Chains A and B, each alone.
Chain A
Amino acid sequence: TQLLEQSPQFLSIQEGENLTVYCNSSSVFSSLQWYRQEPGEGPVLLVTVVTGGEVKKLKRLTFQFGDARKDSSLHITAAQPGDTGLYLCAGTYLAQKLVFGQGTRLTINP
């Protein structure tokens, strides 16, 4: 059974600070996605990474895929209250189904 460990589970920081969320596994991913989920809604796809070492940027968000394709990180620069939400990483391991991490609940205080 593949497991995705996401850390930290909870993070509360002040507006303007930087933060990093981690997603780790002992297995090699075929691909990895990051989602953001608001209360009462479905996850919204932020990014997909496929190649080891890949880095993708989405405004103030930087996503990195580890060289060995076993880990990933999400870095937010100058966090804003609008970044508050649940961030989920999810990976595929040869099969089509997504295996999700437990999520990081992020709170940005004004």
Chain B
Amino acid sequence: NAGVMQNPRHLVRRRGQEARLRCSPMKGHSHVYWYRQLPEEGLKFMVYLQKENIIDESGMPKERFSAEFPKEGPSILRIQQVVRGDSAAYFCASSLNSPFGAYEQYFGPGTRLTVT
């Protein structure tokens, strides 16, 4: 009964490289969310996806960041041309779609991105 899985757990990139973060939701969950936790700051929403659709990307920076959740395979958060300010912990969460709205979100262990 696996929970939300994220890989890699730790990722080191040099400035200007690309970072790809993967998230496999819990079995049966069709909603995926990405959050970012900067050092000494709280968790901030980035993007909400359902299979093949971006539902809400209001928290995602307009440039260099993109996310997808294809029909098959994990959700991917992609950061192009990383800068030092992108260093953070990135968490993925997933939820069911219930009649009351998908409000119970279960989190993965996170990917800690370090940009050198």
Question: What is A's interface to B at a CB cutoff of 8 Å?
Answer: 30-31, 33, 35, 40-45, 48, 50, 88, 90, 92, 95-103
Contacts and interface: CB of A to CB of B under 8 A. Distances in A.
Contacts, number: 69
Contact of B105 (A50, A98, A101, A103): A98
B12 interface: no
B56 A45 contact: no
Given A42-B91, A43-B91, A102-B42, A96 B102 contact: yes
B45 interface: yes
Interface of B: 4, 6, 31, 33, 35, 41-45, 48, 55-56, 58-59, 91, 93, 95, 100-110, 112
Secondary structure at the A interface, as helix, strand, loop or mixed, is: loop
Contacts of B42: 88, 100-103
Given A31-B100, A92-B103, 7 more contacts: A30-B101, A35-B107, A41-B110, A42-B91, A90-B43, A100-B35, A102-B41
Nearest to B58: A97
Nearest to B104: A48
A50 B100 CA distance: 10
Given A45-B105, A103-B42, A98 B110 contact: no
A37 to B, nearest CB: 9
Contacts of A45: 104-107
B43 to A, nearest CB: 4
Contacts of A99: 45
B109 A41 contact: yes
Contacts of A97: 33, 45, 48, 56, 58-59
A88 B112 CA distance: 19
B109 to A, nearest CB: 5
Given A96-B48, A96-B55, A97-B48, A31 B103 contact: yes
